[in-house]
Chain A
Amino acid sequence: MAVVTATAVLSPLTPSDPNAIHLEDQLALMTIKHILGADFHGRDVFSRLVHGARVTMVVATVTVMVAAVIGTLTGAIAGYVGRKVDAIIMRTMDIILSFPAIVLAMALTAALGPSLQNSMISITVVTIPAIARVARGQTLVVKEMDYVQAARAIGVDDASIIFRHIIPNCLGPITVQATLYMAVSILTTASLGFLGLGAQPPTPEWGADLAEGMRYMREAPWVAAFPGLAIFTAALGFNLLGDGLADIMNPRLRE
């Protein structure tokens, strides 16, 4: 995961333009000019990978962060206010959650029109309920803590209580959930790209590149292999990060 982040950050420094077409190098094997080979259009796989990393990281981070903000807010409000508001919010979340994430994302993107931005929007929408649920659960616990009662006794208004007392103390599990969802986001982006619903050509994107490379599996398997490997590694990386965070956060294991 660190590798992916590093790559994404360093992407502007790639030697060759990922979109530059070198037809003479069509489906070339790994050479010095093209470290990981070239695709059908003669574009350098390596630089496409690197630029794709940037796309992936941007999508993953932005979608999860926006979802986290919206999810935390709605979850905290639902948990704190309770009753009707809680019921309405959580039922809405349940409805969204009842669709498999990818299917929903597909449907939304298709409805909005295939593009990178739209795929980001649909992924965000799909991620919000998971975070809202975690936020609400934590809020219910934190709400009963004495320091929240103390704040009410002081006369602090509800909004301030939510922002100053409840949300900062919910961040732990939310961070873990968010990190895990980055992995989901990466996979979903790639899937959408694979289906042609995400980033449009010629933007380098792992899923789209994977789809393209599939066509030449027999002659030049590396064109598909590397994007696939990249997706796998990135998703795994975030998953491991999420697990690690969860372990650290667990107070019982702290010794």
Chain B
Amino acid sequence: MSPLIEARELVKSFPITSGLMMKETSRVRAVDGVSFVIQEGECFGLVGETGCGKTTVGKLLLRLIEPTAGDVIFRGQSILELNKYEMRRLRKEMQIVFQDPYSSLNPRMSVWQIISEPINTHHLATGIEQERRVLELLKRVGLEQEHVKRYPHEFSGGQRQRIAIARALASEPPFIVLDEPTSALDVSVQAQILNDLRRLQRELGITYLFISHNLAVVNHLCDRTAVMYLGKIVEAGPTREVYETPLHPYTLALLVANPIPDPEAKTNRILLEGDVPSSINPPRGCRFHPRCSRASLECRDEEPRIVSTGEHQVACHNVLCK
């Protein structure tokens, strides 16, 4: 497998202004030095809670937002060096499916228009060939031919997500970012969509970045997973390893906090104290230390560096023993 897309020390900070003159008082470091590599054909999961920056990472990879620092390498080339026109042409190689099926489709466009827009934008097919493509896309995502004439509001949440997926597939991109694609859907619909996503990946050989706060979903679908906290990756590795032998205390807390649908399972609760701090003034040293039960003096002063054992990486001073 070769690397398809790579994030290198990505940083994104937003200014906070106050006062009439909109003077910048501080910056929110939503993403603070994130690096990872996604191999071609794999499904890479990015998990974390609200405010950890995972959605921002997804948008940075697609350059929907400009990074404050760092780089994104796609197929060996930095995408940040591309000008506006080259970037637009590159966009057909990388697509995104959003979380909210109710705002990700233009209510004034018919299904046909929505799905054919990428095809037209990149001049990929016209006339009969275009028609064939659109109908084939519909079939792939499990929608009917007659749906082309209808408008988004006539569909359910699950169906809208399918339309969004069809749109993402339209330009035949090798890479798709899925930003919480099933979080807004019912459990049974979620299962259908997840099954379909897996099938599509097998059929078309697409690479996914799957962003979610739902650990179970990521566990089910992703080959490798990275855990984010307050703008940084705290642990990353093959999904099975990360879930079965977590090395970072936060990963363990996340896993354990997840309610298990089995009333007889024993819960070994590690309740984290407090709430997720804001990213405006993140704690010094290791960002997780105020809530960490294993925090030592080192954790307060120094940011942990990344340590690897094989494929499994973690950023912690007091790594959990295997």
Contact = CB atoms under 8 A, between A and B. Distances in A.
Given A154-B171, A155-B121, A146 B100 contact: yes
17 contacts: A146-B103, A146-B104, A147-B103, A149-B64, A149-B96, A150-B104, A150-B167, A151-B106, A154-B117, A154-B121, A155-B87, A155-B89, A155-B118, A164-B106, A164-B109, A165-B106, A168-B106
Contact of A153 (B89, B95, B103, B122): B95
Contacts of B132: none
Interface in B207-255: none
B167 A157 contact: no
User: Which 7 A-B residue pairings sit nearest by Cβ, starting from the closest?
Assistant: A155-B91, A146-B104, A168-B108, A155-B88, A147-B106, A146-B98, A146-B103
A150 B96 contact: yes
B98 A156 contact: no
A157 B106 CA distance: 16
Interface string A77-117: 00000000000000000000000000000000000000000
B3 interface: no
A169 B108 contact: yes
Interface string A152-180: 11111100100011001100000000000
B107 interface: yes
A10 B121 CA distance: 47
A154 B91 contact: yes
B105 interface: yes
B64 A156 contact: no
Nearest to A169: B108
Contacts of A165: 106
A152 B90 CA distance: 12
Interface string B67-106: 0000000000000000000011111101110111001111
B117 A156 contact: yes
Given A154-B171, A155-B91, A147 B104 contact: yes
A154 B108 contact: no
B103 A151 contact: no
A153 B91 contact: yes
Contacts of A156: 117, 121
A145 interface: yes
Contacts of A160: 121
Contacts of B62: 153
Nearest to B114: A147
A169 B106 contact: yes
A211 to B, nearest CB: 46
Contacts of B122: 155
A36 B62 CA distance: 71
Given A145-B103, A149-B64, A149-B98, A154 B109 contact: no
A150 B98 contact: yes
A155 B92 contact: yes
Contacts of A168: 106, 108
Nearest to A171: B108
Contacts of A152: 64
A173 to B, nearest CB: 14
A165 B121 CA distance: 14
Q: Which of B90, B98, B100 has the most CB of A within 10 A?
A: B98
A164 B121 CA distance: 12
Contacts of B104: 146-147, 150
A175 B118 CA distance: 30
B89 A169 contact: no
Nearest to A154: B118
B30 interface: no
Interface in A99-145: 145
B100 to A, nearest CB: 6
Q: Which of A145, A150, A156, A164 has the most CB of B within 10 A?
A: A150
A47 B228 CA distance: 78
Given A146-B103, A147-B103, A153 B108 contact: no
A32 B239 CA distance: 93
Interface string B141-185: 000000000000000000000001001000100000000000000
A153 B64 contact: yes
Contacts of B167: 150, 154
Given A147-B103, A164-B109, A169-B107, A153 B88 contact: no
B125 to A, nearest CB: 15
B236 to A, nearest CB: 25
B120 to A, nearest CB: 9
A7 to B, nearest CB: 34
Contacts of B64: 149, 152-153
